[in-house]
Structure 1
Amino acid sequence: MLSCQARTDPTQGLGVNWVSGPLDGHPRQPDLTVAGMDQIVGRNLYSWGVVNRQAALWNSCISRGDVIRAVQAGRPLAIKAQGKGNAASR
């Protein structure tokens, strides 16, 4: 889970959570499939999740409801917004 809040304005923040493991049986499988995660080569290397909290400060790079993929190599953690999921499953 990644969670942060602006020091000067607590309403400005970001919350993202993700789960490791295969797409089949993933708690957000419908969202992941709609976003095309099942088409990514090497998808078994990633963790998958959804942005669950987002304020205006983050509008240019990531939005609430975006499906994300995360991978860590050593200390760096890379998080990429992949696309929108199935709004009906939220």
Structure 2
Amino acid sequence: MRSLIRSQLRLGLVFAGGFCVATVLFVAAIVLVPGLDAQFVAGVPVSWLLLAFGLYPLAITVGVLYARAAARNEARFRQLAEDDA
């Protein structure tokens, strides 16, 4: 059981760290390119569009990938537990 908990913790930390790095890169790109706030598409600043269509799909993708990886970890653990029994 401890190995499953450690595995899930490690998986969660890796995914959370990756998401944080990607979020910081998005925000840094917006801060470092100030012209994005001056340009508009359909009345919305381009920087907002980058956040909306960049970060939200990223968050959903990370969540789906994490859920699949966590389920795979649990299935492997369950298989190991059944083999030991």
Q: TM-score range with shorter-chain normalisation? A: under 0.3
When normalised by structure 2's length, the TM-score is: 0.22
The structure that has the greater radius of gyration is: 2
Q: Which has the higher helix share?
A: 2
